[in-house]
Structure 1
Amino acid sequence: MQLLGLLMEAAILDRLGKLPLNLKTTYDEMYSQIAARNQYDKALADRALMWVMCAPRYLTSSELLSAISLPSDDGEFYMAEEVDDALLLDLCSDFLIFDAYQKHYCRNYWVYHIPTQRGLRPDPGLSNLLMEFIGAPMESSAYFRSWFQAVNHDLDFGPSRFKSFFTRGIMSQISPCSVGLFAACRLSLLGFMEGWLDDGTIPLGLTNCLGDNVMTLATLSGWITICETLLYRGFPIDSGFRRHDKFARDYEGFYGNALAAAAVQGYIPVVKCLLKHGAEVNMYSTIYGSALIAASTYGNIDVARLLLNNGADVDFNRGPYGSALAATSEVSNIDMVRFLLNNRASINLKNEDSGSALAAAAAMGQIEVVQLLVEEGANIDLQAGCYGTTLAAAALHRHQGVISLLIQNGADVNLQICAGEFSNALDAAAVSGSTMIVKHLLRHGAAPSQNSSYKVIAH
C-alpha cells in the first residue's frame, strides 16, 4: 500500500531497498507512523485496532465505525466529526483493511501468520479461543465447520485474482471437517493448544479421508514440536491402524507414510526427527514408492543424502515411477540424476512403468538427461516397461531431438520389441499420429514390422 502512494520511480526503488526484515519489524514500522500522528488521530486509530483485535467476531465496516464513535471510558476522547472508511484507513496507516470480498482475507490468509509464532510461549487467552474455534479433537465445533464450508465455497466461487493458502489438496487433508485433530496437525495449530490432547479417547491409528494418518499431517506442517508431541502420545509414524473414511484411497493413504511426506516437502529437521524415532526408511509409499523416490522426484538432494546415509535403498523399485533414478530422470532434475549415479544407482534397472530411467527421460523429452545417461553407460536398446524401448518411448511422444540423439548413439531403429505395446519404434511413431516422426525414422532406415497392428504409409 505504501508503494502505491509513491509517484516517482526513484522513490519506489528507494522504498524497495529499505523493506522491513520480518513481520514484526513491518508492524513496528507501520505503528510508528500512527504513533507520530496528533494525539486525537492516534487515539482514534488505537481504538479501531483494539476493537478489531478484541471483538469476538469480525466487524463490518459500519459496526467498526459505530464502535469507535462511542465515548471512551475515561470521557476524555470525543470525536466531533464523522469518520468514514477512507479516513479511518488513512489514520490506521495500512494496519487495517476492509475486506470487500465477504471476509475472503480473514478466512483464507490467517494461516500464513502461524509460522511467525513458532517457538513462542502460547498465550493462554488465545489458546482458549483457538481451542473453542477448533472444538474437540474428535468432534470439531460449529464455528470450525462453518469456516470449512466457507473456504470450500471460496475455492468454488471466490474471485479468481485471490490466491488462498488453502487448496483442494489441503482441504482434503483436513477432511472430514467433523474431526478437529486433522486441521490442528496440518495447520500447525496443535503447538498452541496446551492440554488439548489430554482426552484419551483419540484412536492412535486415526486417518483422514485420503487415508493419511495424523503423523503424516503433522509432518506436512513442518513443525517438529507437533511431531514430537504426537510421538510422545503414541501416535504411529509409519501407518494408521484403520481409515477414518470408508472412501479413503487405500490403507496406506495418499503419501503412504510420514517420512515420504517430509521428503516431498524437503523438511530436513522433520526427516531427522522421524528417523530418530524409528521411521522405516524403505517403507512403501503409495504415490511415490519410497521416501527416497519422493525426495528425488522433487529434487531434494539434501533429504536424499540424509535418507541414503540412514540406509535407504537407492534401487528401491516399487510404485508408479519405478526407481529414484527413473523418477528424477522423468522430471529432468539433472543434478539429482548425477547425485544418484554417484551413489551407485543402477543405471539399467528395469521397472514396470517407463521401463528404465533412460526411457522415462526419453518419453518426457528430457534431452540433457538422456545425453547424461547415455554417456554414463545406459543401455539404449534395453527392453522393458510399457514402451518396450527408449526409442519407442521417444517416438510415441514425438520427441524428434531425442530420437536423433539415440540413433546417433547406436539405437537400433528396427529392433523387434518383445516387451510393451509395440513391435518396433515405427509402430510407436504411427500411434503418435505424427507423420514427421514417422518420416524421420524412415529416413534412418526404419522398416514396418510384419507383426505390426498399425499401418505405416510412406509418402
Structure 2
Amino acid sequence: MLCLAMAAGLLLDALPVRAQTSPDGLQLITAARQTDTAAVRRLLTAGADPNSRYGDGTTALHWAAHRDAAALVTLLLDTGAAVNAVDDHGTTPLALACLNGSLPVVQILLTAGADANLARGNGETPLMTAARVGNLEVVRSLLAAGADPNTVEATLGQTALMRAIAENHTPVARVLLEVGGSVSARSTNRFTALLFAAQQGNIEAARLLLSAGADVNEAAPDGIGGNTNARNRFVEETEAAALLVAIDSEHAEMALFLLEQGADPNHAGAGRTALHAAVQRVMPEVVTALLERGADPDARLERRLPFVSRRIYQDNGLAPSNIGATPFFLAASFGDLEIMRILADAGADPMLRANDGTTALMVAAGADYVDGADKYGRRWFGDNLPLQETALETVTYLLGLGLDINATNDYDQTPLHGAVYM
C-alpha cells in the first residue's frame, strides 16, 4: 500500500498545476458567459485577470467568442486577454468563432494575432471547422491569415477540402481548390475528396475535383463511407471505386455522371462490380447505362455482398452462397424481372451458376423478398398475393429461358426445396 501511495504521489507531482483562479476571476468568466459587458468592464477595472480560467481551462475570451459577442471580445483583447488561449481540449477562441460561423469575431481575433493554424487536441484546425460549417467568408479570412488548406486532422485524417465536400459546402470547396487544396490527399480510411463527393451525390463538387485533376476511378476500401461516424465496417484488401461508392450510396445521377466522365464500368477491386451494385440497389437506369458503356453482364461476385445488402439470409436450409453470382443471378434472387430482362437483352447468360452450383431458378423459387420477411429474416408469402405473383412470374420467366427445373447444387438442393418452403 505504501508503494502504491508513493507511486500515486509521484504521478500527482508530475501533473501540471494550474494556479487557483481568484473569486473576481471566476466572476469575470461568469459575466462573459452571460454576455454581461457592463459587469465584465467593471471587474476588469477593479483588477480582475482577463486570463483567469475555469477548471476546464476556458477563459472569458472563450465564452465571449462562443456567445458571438464581438464587443465583449474586443473589450477583453484590449485589456490583455490572450488571443490564443487554449482550454483543456486545445480549443481556442478562434475555433469557437469558426464553429459559430461568426465572421466579425473571427476577423477581430485574427487582427489581434490569433493563430489561424492552431489546432485542437484532435488536430482539427480553425479552417477545417469553418469548412465543415460552410461559412465562405470565414474560410476566406482564415486563408488570408495564412491558414494551411492541406493540414491533415489527426483522428480521421481529413483535410478542410474533405470536410467541406462531406458537408456539401461546394462554394467552400471551390475556394479551397483555388488556393491549392489537394485532390489526392487520403483520409485514414483512404477516402479522397472525390469519394466523399460520390458518397454525397454532389455532382457539382465532383466536377470541380475532376477539373482539378482527381482520378475518376479513385478507390478506397469497400464500405459505406469515409467518415468513421458513418462507416463502421470495411472489407480489407478491397478497392471500391467512386462509381461503386455512388451506387452504394444510392445516388443514381452521380453514377451516371461518373460514367460520362469515363469511370470504368468493370472496376472490380471490391470483389464486385458496379453492375452487381446497381442490381442490388434496384437502379434499372444505371444498369442500362453500365451495359451501354461496356459493363460485363456476366461478371462474377468474388466476395459476398456487403452488409448493406438488400438480401436477407434464409432460415430454411436453402441458403446458398452468392460467391460467383452474376448480376442476372442477383436480379433473379430479388425477383426483379425488369432488371433480369434488361440484362438478358444485353446478352447476360441466365444459365451461369454460383460457385456452389446454385442456379438463378433456385434462388428465384426461394427468392429473398425483403417485403415478405419478418424482423428475424424469416420469409413466407402467406396471403401476400402480389409477392406470390412476382415469384411465379420470375420462375415462369426463367423456365421460359430454359433453366433446368431439376438441377441440383453442391448441397443436392433443387428449385423445389425453396418453392416448398415458400
Q: Distance in 2 between matches of 1:369 and 1:265?
A: 25
1:385-431 Cα deviation digits (max 9, x unpaired): 4334323444555545433433444333342335xx99555676658
Q: CA deviation at 1:328?
A: 2.7
Q: Distance in 2 between matches of 1:360 and 1:195?
A: 51
Q: CA deviation at 1:188?
A: 0.7
Question: What amino acid is the match of 2:194?
Answer: L
1:330-409 matches, cutoff 5 A: 330-352=248-270, 355-384=272-301, 385-387=303-305, 388-395=325-332, 399-409=336-346
Q: CA deviation at 1:276?
A: 2.7
Does the 8 Å CA contact 1:325/1:337 hold for their aligned counterparts?
yes
Q: Distance in 1 between matches of 2:93 and 2:159?
A: 21
Alpha-carbon distance change, 336 to 457 in structure 1, aligned in 2, over 3 angstroms: closer
Q: Distance in 1 between matches of 2:183 and 2:108?
A: 32
Alpha-carbon distance change, 193 to 441 in structure 1, aligned in 2, over 3 angstroms: same
1:13-162 matches, cutoff 5 A: 125=71, 127-128=73-74, 139=86
Alignment partner, residue 457 of structure 1? 418
Q: CA deviation at 1:310?
A: 1.0
SS at match of 2:127: helix
Of 255, 269, 281, which residue of structure 1 is paired with 2:171? 269
Does the 8 Å CA contact 2:119/2:125 hold for their aligned counterparts?
yes
Alignment partner, residue 65 of structure 1? none
Alignment partner, residue 6 of structure 2? none
Alignment partner, residue 19 of structure 2? none
Tell whether 2:154 aligns with 1:217: no
Q: Distance in 2 between matches of 1:346 and 1:225?
A: 38
Alpha-carbon distance change, 181 to 309 in structure 1, aligned in 2, over 3 angstroms: same
Of 208, 218, 239, which residue of structure 2 is paired with 1:306? 208
Alignment partner, residue 101 of structure 2? 188
Segments of structure 2 that go 5 or more residues without pairing to the other structure are: 1-31, 37-65, 225-239, 306-324, 369-377, 381-387
Query: Sequence identity, in percent?
Result: 26
Q: Distance in 1 between matches of 2:145 and 2:412?
A: 61
Question: What amino acid is the match of 2:106?
Answer: M
Tell whether 2:186 aligns with 1:227: no
TM-score (norm 1): 0.51
1:5-16 matches, cutoff 5 A: none
Q: CA deviation at 1:314?
A: 0.4
Of 290, 306, 326, which residue of structure 1 is paired with 2:192? 290
Q: CA deviation at 1:344?
A: 1.3
Q: Distance in 1 between matches of 2:337 and 2:191?
A: 31
Q: CA deviation at 1:126?
A: 5.9
Q: Distance in 2 between matches of 1:237 and 1:386?
A: 39
Alpha-carbon distance change, 295 to 136 in structure 1, aligned in 2, over 3 angstroms: same
Segments of structure 1 that go 5 or more residues without pairing to the other structure are: 1-54, 60-110, 115-122, 142-175, 244-249
Q: CA deviation at 1:312?
A: 0.6
Q: CA deviation at 1:313?
A: 0.1
Does the 8 Å CA contact 2:183/2:209 hold for their aligned counterparts?
yes
1:56-102 Cα deviation digits (max 9, x unpaired): 9599xxxxxxxxxxxxxxxxxxxxxxxxxxxxxxxxxxxxxxxxxxx
Of 147, 150, 156, which residue of structure 2 is paired with 1:238? 150
Does the 8 Å CA contact 1:331/1:361 hold for their aligned counterparts?
no
Q: Distance in 2 between matches of 1:454 and 1:274?
A: 58
Alpha-carbon RMSD across the aligned residues, in angstroms, is 4.5
Alpha-carbon distance change, 194 to 286 in structure 1, aligned in 2, over 3 angstroms: same
Alignment partner, residue 372 of structure 2? none
Alignment partner, residue 352 of structure 2? 415
Question: What amino acid is the match of 1:227?
Answer: V
Does the 8 Å CA contact 1:128/1:193 hold for their aligned counterparts?
no
Alpha-carbon distance change, 205 to 341 in structure 1, aligned in 2, over 3 angstroms: same
Which shows bigger deviation, 396-405 or 365-374? 396-405
Question: What amino acid is the match of 1:344?
Answer: G
Alignment partner, residue 106 of structure 1? none
TM-score (norm 2): 0.55
Q: Distance in 2 between matches of 1:234 and 1:415?
A: 60
Does the 8 Å CA contact 1:262/1:270 hold for their aligned counterparts?
yes
